[in-house]
Amino acid sequence: MPLPRDLWVTPLAGVVGGYLASLAGWPLPWMVGSLLAVIAVRCLANRAFSELPGGRKAGQWLVASGIGLHFTSEVLEQVLSHLPVIVMGAFGTLLLSLIGIAILRRAGVDRATAFFASMPGGASEMVNLALRHDAQAARVAAAHSLRLLLVVLLIPALFTWGLPAVSAPTRAPVDWTWLIGLLAAGAVLAMFWGRLKQPNPWMLGPLTACAVASASFDLHLGLPQGLGQFGQWLIGCALGCHFDRAFFRSAPGFLARVLAFTLLAMLAAAALGEALGWLAGEDHLSLMLGMMPGGITELCLTAEALQLSVALVTALQVLRLFLVMFLAEPLFKLWCKNHV
């Protein structure tokens, strides 16, 4: 049975966008280019072309596996030695959500919507919590989607074009015997993680499986370049399907305030990362990148492209994600209790 015609539009637009972006020398071309191309097609045609079924999960699975392979035994030792800095950085970025809460509350946005829309990660989980606490779930989802778009478009570009050019890293060896087993293990762990209703299973499951195996057996392996680009393309296409004309027309005042506090949070994260790097004597660029508001996938890919500490950025992002997941609702209840 042939696939619906519309199902081909999104991947084709993503391929064209990724290829043109790679010719132009854009950072993370297969993710950024495909994202912009899919958004452009959906807005110009004013139609909600279909997302590739399972595309985002598959892209996260491949990208997370490649990130996990960076965690060799030497890298894991460095992460453990930097644990106090990582904890301070994760808590520091969590506090940046106060910027968004203050801006939205001053504009008259209700307490629950302002709170969950301002959290620095866990978009789907924040929407679920918003529904539980009678917030405007559509606005919470819009805030997280717009923040994701800004992070994907701005952060790789600012870090790439704001730093001296780096030579391409030496490609890690590819061992398909190990990779096939690790990819399968990551998929199984992701499905198990998802059954437990835990956050971001297709990112954290494969990342954990590959990181544990890489550190335990000191593998020093990597994914083939084409497989990593394929994962980026899948993620870019999936992200682009969040946006259309209706999204950009909805609540323009609210989206403008989300834009403002996201940019302010980025500036504050850069300042905090610089200060923390100076105080602790650590790599300030990796700390700045790891503390940026946004998704673990995009920021870790940026670290990899710029040869920054992928492990440090990943550790900051993973810890922040868990802090958001487990602290958001208790903190919101405490805030409501103190302002009855």
Q: What is the model's pLDDT at position 1?
A: 39
pLDDT above 70 as % of the chain? 94
Q: Is 298 within a domain?
A: yes
Record the tokens describing residue 315, joined without a space. 């550790």
- Give the H or E element holding residue 305: helix 296-305
Count of structural domains, the chain: 1
Q: Is 88 within a domain?
A: yes
- Comparison of pLDDT for 220 and 118, the residue scoring more: 118
Residue 184's pLDDT band (boundaries 50, 70, 90)?
Answer: very high
Residue 285's pLDDT band (boundaries 50, 70, 90)?
Answer: confident
Place of tokens 């910027």: 99
Out of 6-10, 73-77, 120-124, which region has the weakest mean confidence (pLDDT)?
120-124
Domain membership of residue 99 as a residue range: 55-239+249-338
How far is 340 from 328, CA to CA, in rounded Å? 18
Q: What is the model's pLDDT at position 105?
A: 92
How far is 141 from 116, CA to CA, in rounded Å? 9
The b/e string for 262-286 (b: 16+ C-beta within 10 A; e otherwise) is beebbebbbebbeebbeeeebbbbb
Q: Is 172 within a domain?
A: yes
For residue 129, give the nearest of 310, 327, 290, 265 by alpha carbon: 327
Q: What is the model's pLDDT at position 179?
A: 92
Q: What is the model's pLDDT at position 191?
A: 94
How long, in residues, is the chain? 340
Distinct helix (H) and strand (E) counts, the chain? 17, 0
How far is 71 from 76, CA to CA, in rounded Å? 6
Q: Is 265 within a domain?
A: yes
Q: How many CB atoms lie within 10 A of CB 7?
A: 15
pLDDT at residue 302 tops 60: yes
C-alpha dist (Å) from residue 92 to 107, 326, 331: 25, 16, 15
How far is 182 from 187, CA to CA, in rounded Å? 9
Using only C-alpha atoms, the chain has a radius of gyration, in whole angstroms, of 20
Q: Is 163 within a domain?
A: yes
Quick one: CA dihedral 234, 237, 241, 247, positive or negative? positive
Q: Is 21 within a domain?
A: no
Q: Is 305 within a domain?
A: yes
Q: Is 49 within a domain?
A: no
Q: What is the mean pLDDT of residues 309-332?
A: 84
Tens of pLDDT along 245-265? 887 787 788 889 999 999 998
Q: How many CB atoms lie within 10 A of CB 102?
A: 14
Place of tokens 């072309």: 49
The helix/strand/coil state of 339 is coil
